[in-house]
Structure 1
Amino acid sequence: MTGRRATTTLWRPTGPAELALVRELDWRAWPPRLPEQPIFYPVLDEDYAVRIARDWNVKHDGAGFVTRFEVDTGFLGRYPVRQVGGRTILELWVPAEELDEFNAHVVGRIEVVHEFH
């Protein structure tokens, strides 16, 4: 029996510096967190990612980008969905020390779907 594994679509609002590192990783992985970044926060709602990229990243970094990527659904079960505000403000909290394993479960490429300046 052949079949594709089930994936879940996630989004990540990001600034230009992180996006450059993703590009260096051939659009297939997220870079290691900085010491002041103990958690990697992908989000489950595109609109929420747009709001962060447009309203926060542009203000702080001069540009904001929304990326979309797929992750193996079975693997994601280890990360409970966290509601951090309204009903659509949903995130996964991936500890920095688990990011390499998380990256190993990214399916396909990370793509930029929105850009703000």
Structure 2
Amino acid sequence: MNQNQGPQTSDSKDDDDATLSEFLASLMDYTPTIPDELVEHYLAKSGFQCPDVRLIRLVAVATQKFVSEVATDALQHCKARQSSVVKDKRDKQQKERRLVLTMEDLSRALKEVRKFPFHIC
């Protein structure tokens, strides 16, 4: 509960419940990049069993978002590294604008993830 706002009204709670229900229903029509079977496998491996496909897809979507954010951060590290490495070879760099993602870039992106604790609200 936010300290600046009063307690949540029942209308607001009903709106939140309706929004959540709509979102969960939309997951039935969505095919995430990560297959349901793969998510189910890793959830089962960690001891979690759930017959609800909507929850499996919610985990898949959250995982997809996490991987996407790490990849985006790694790309930013890659761009920064390559722009700082080749300053005197500007002509050659202009012609070869290919980015090469390295383990160093990925490691830096993953280190940033560890700095921020995950909160489930």
| Band of TM-score, shorter chain | under 0.3
Larger Rg: 2
- Give the structure-1-normalised TM-score: 0.23
TM-score normalized by the length of structure 2: 0.23
Bigger relative contact order (CA 8 A; separation at least 6): 1
Higher strand share: 1
